[in-house]
Structures are given as C-alpha cells and as structure tokens.
Chain A
C-alpha cells in the first residue's frame, strides 16, 4: 500500500529581549544558576507580573511576517500543571485570544511550492531547568530561564514529508533572524520543535492517529526523527497493529523514537484567564508603526536577488536563507562587481570551509572585502580559478589578502605568449604519438584529445598558465 505522511509542527521561539516577559530579570544566557531569578520569577507571594513591551512588539512583527491576523485584544491565561521548574504551579500563556491568529508560510521543496497554514501563535513564558544529576537523590532547579519570553507557533497538519517539515522550520529560522527577534540557535534551545506525525493510505481523507515527537533539536534531527517515526508507524500498521496516540522521544544516538510514559491525566491544564494580567489591547496605529519597522524579509530579498543580480531562483534561495549570508553576499558583490562569481564562491568554497570548520559566516576569517579582492584577480586574469582556490585557502589561514598572497607565492598567471609557446613546444615535441592521434581525429574527438595537452602544459607551469590562452595557442599549434 502507498502511504502518505501528515505532519504538523509546534515551534517554540525564544525571543531575544533583554529582560523577561513579566519581570526585569536579565535573560542573558549562561549565567550562574538562579542569579537571574527574581521574586517575580520565583513566584513569591505579593509580586505582580508586568508585560514586556518588546516581547509584544516582537510577536506582532512575527505575525506580520506570517501574513497573519494580529489580535488587537489578547489575553493571558494560566495553564496549570505541577512541575518543580515551574514555581508558580502554572505557566502564563495564551489560549482563546492569542496575539497572532491564522497566517501562512510558503515553502519550496524540489521546485514545488506548498502553503503551510499557521493555526495561531501565542506568547508565553519559559520554565526553568531541572538538573537530574544526583544531588543526594534530589533534583536541582535553576530558574534563570523561568520567565524568558517565548512564541509558540502551531501549524495546521499541512506538511507531507520530513523534507517539507525541515523546509518550514528553516523558513521560520530565516524569518526570525531577519526580524532579529531571536537568535534562532537550535543548539541553545532558542528554536525548538515538536512534530505531530501520522500516516494514512494515499487518497484517504481521514487522518491517521498522530504521535507527538519531542526532543528534536537540530534541522537534521527533525528530518531523521520524522523519517524513522513514519517507518515505525507504517511497519506497525502493515503488521496488523494500530498506532497509539502518545508522546515519543527521539533518541539521536540510536536513531529511534521511544514512548514516554503515557500520561492518562495529560491535557487537564484547567486554563483560566490570569487575574494578575489585564487584557492586552492595541490599535491599528500601533500595528502599522511596527509594520513600518519590518526589514526586507527572505522572500522579498530572494526576489530582488533574482532580479537585480540575475541569480537563479535556487541560488537566490540559498543565499537569502540566512540574513548573515545574504549580507555577506551583497557586500562581496558590491566590492567586486561580479555577483555571479561572488555567489559561486560563497555557496561553494566558502560554504564548504564554514561547514568543515564549523564556524558561522560572521565569524569567518574571510571577510567580504577579502573575497572580493580574490574575485577581482580572477576577473582580470591575474590568476586562474584553480589557483584562486589555493589563494582562498591561504586567506583563510590568515596569510593576508589576495594580492599579498599572489605576490608572496608567485602565483601570477602565466599570460606571456613567448613563455607559453616555449612550454607548448616542449610538450608537443615530447608527445609524438598523441600528436599523431590528434591530427588523425575529427573535430569532435580533437576537443577531447586536446585535454591531454592542456593538462601537460598546466602541470609544467605549476598551474599558473592562463587556461584560455593555452587552449588558443595549443589549438593553433596542433591544427597548423
């Protein structure tokens, strides 16, 4: 039987405000335990929460980027559950009247565009952290994170493959980093994702029983976790079993999902409006002022790259997926005047090197100015593309700019006809068999055979011969 996967995501986004959502405690990452947990965060009696304006503004900007309805009136509610890293005994969140209503995000996978509908997104506070190492059989609680502002976004079950789920999450990552409302760092938990996954026979209208996957904290794990859960569900059904609605944890080391203890009493959160917080009311002028502050968003920037720099849709998509990469590209293109070459270098050698060394583009030793300097030397034929790779590596190692490295290492391309003729003569005289073969061949085959001679010349010139010129001189010599 052919199966169809159905995925909905719940995404938590940690907002990069200075202070917490309801208190003036710092949200800085990495502080000593409990040094950023005030009386409000600790739920001391007599304290009152006051809502952070920036958290509201960030949420509205995010909603505008999703083309969503903005709630002109939103209400905080208490979600009651008992857990020691939640000192109040409830999480302050939104339910019936969230700040962000229905919206959508368009994703593209394998050239097909799909619209993913956003059910809603709301503001809430994060919980603290439980440390389960052994403290004499007890659990340690660090409440620094308690009260950090989060947006929780809930999609409709509109994705049909693990690849689409990843594309959606990457799009959200791009939007929040463009808006600069979150650092979007999945490894630090600034962007977290739960996936609701089910399968159904293709063509069936009704959804299958869904499983909620938790603990997927990288783009790669989102894809792998969904894939292995889909396989598990299909195998289970084909063996005559049924999928149970439950929460499963993804174990990256074993690449498997496993059931969490099923909570019979789950989802009894006894929500009610928080009496400590009044309804949040905003008007059109407030929303429009924030709309005016929105930067150019990924989709608009991609369209502009295609138009102004004449890049392909694919290249423009790759370059605009991250704001820092797009900025790097624009700075490089402006400095060298060769956007297509700049795009190739950034998506090729630079991306590979960043990946290999696991550094972000903003921390790379090669700046847009350095890369532009290199590209200029390729363009004016001072060096070949092949030699340029060598210069690139030297720049990465901190040996200076392209001009300095070319000079120091004597990498200037050999474009002197006399010198090249000399090398070519030597090669041609030393290879009578290949010459005879070449001259006996038809035009189509000659092109292939020419490669041997070009290779020999490049080798003899230690890669420094101007390839265009070598081709020209060789052809003249051999054909003549």
Chain B
C-alpha cells in the first residue's frame, strides 16, 4: 500500500510537525516501503490467532495507593525553556486557526 502526500501532511499536522515539500516526498517513499512490509505481514493467515495487545505474556502489576514522589519542581523548571510563577510557559494555543 502506498501512502498519499495528503496522508503525510495530515499526520504531520496532527503531531504539530512542520515539513517542507521535499521532506514530505522523502517520507512518502520511506513510509510506503514500511507499509509494503506491513502488506506482506497482512497476507499471513492469522485466523484463530488471538489479537495481541502486548508482546509480553504477562499481566499488569499493581502499585499500592501511596504518595512516594517528592516535590522536584525547581529541578524540572530549570530545564524548561520558559517558566514563570512555577508554571511552564508555552506558545498560546487557544483560538489558533489551523
């Protein structure tokens, strides 16, 4: 299966990744190859095989409900690009026309 330019642009927009037309073209080739591999996998008869939700044959461990983390705010704020009043600052996102 080949992937369309529009699909790549759509996915890039959802992930908020800006791409140049040449990058889109390059990705289109490479992603199409991956999807071709998927096509080959799809051809295998998997009827009777239970769908896999996790590669490990194990179940989730549970954690007791207790507060174990301490306040590390200053350390985290120190590595953020912009902060104020204990808040992380990000570009305004509301009312942004897509």
Chain A interface residues toward B at CB < 8 A: 17-19, 23-26, 32-40, 42, 50-56, 75, 80-84, 89, 97, 130-132, 135-143, 261, 263, 265, 268, 270, 273, 275, 277-281
Contacts and interface: CB of A to CB of B under 8 A. Distances in A.
Contact of A131 (B60, B65, B87, B91): B87
Given A34-B76, A83-B93, A24 B68 contact: yes
Given A34-B86, A280-B60, A138 B14 contact: no
Contacts of B68: 19, 24
A131 to B, nearest CB: 7
A39 B77 CA distance: 12
Nearest to B59: A281
Nearest to A74: B60
Nearest to B86: A33
B61 to A, nearest CB: 7
The secondary-structure label for the interface of chain B is loop
Contacts of A33: 85-87
Interface in B40-71: 53-56, 58-69, 71
Contact of B94 (A26, A40, A139, A275): A139
A132 B92 CA distance: 8
Interface of B: 10, 13-16, 53-56, 58-69, 71-73, 76-77, 82, 84-95, 98
Contacts, number: 135
B73 A35 contact: yes
Contacts of B71: 35-36
B15 A138 contact: no
Given A18-B65, A130-B93, A143 B88 contact: yes
Contacts of A35: 71, 73, 86
Contacts of B61: 50-51, 278
Contact of A17 (B53, B65, B88): B65
A263 B94 CA distance: 13
Contacts of B82: 138
B72 A39 contact: yes
Contacts of A279: 53-54, 59-60
A277 B60 contact: yes
A75 B60 CA distance: 9
18 contacts: A19-B67, A24-B66, A24-B67, A24-B68, A36-B71, A37-B76, A42-B76, A50-B62, A53-B64, A53-B65, A75-B54, A131-B87, A137-B92, A138-B82, A138-B90, A140-B84, A141-B89, A265-B14
Contacts of A37: 73, 76
B10 A265 contact: yes
Given A19-B65, A52-B62, A130-B94, 6 more contacts: A18-B65, A39-B72, A140-B84, A140-B87, A279-B59, A279-B60
A18 B95 CA distance: 35
A273 B56 CA distance: 13
Contacts of A261: 95
B98 A51 contact: no
B63 A34 contact: no
A147 to B, nearest CB: 10
Given A82-B16, A279-B60, A280-B59, A18 B91 contact: no
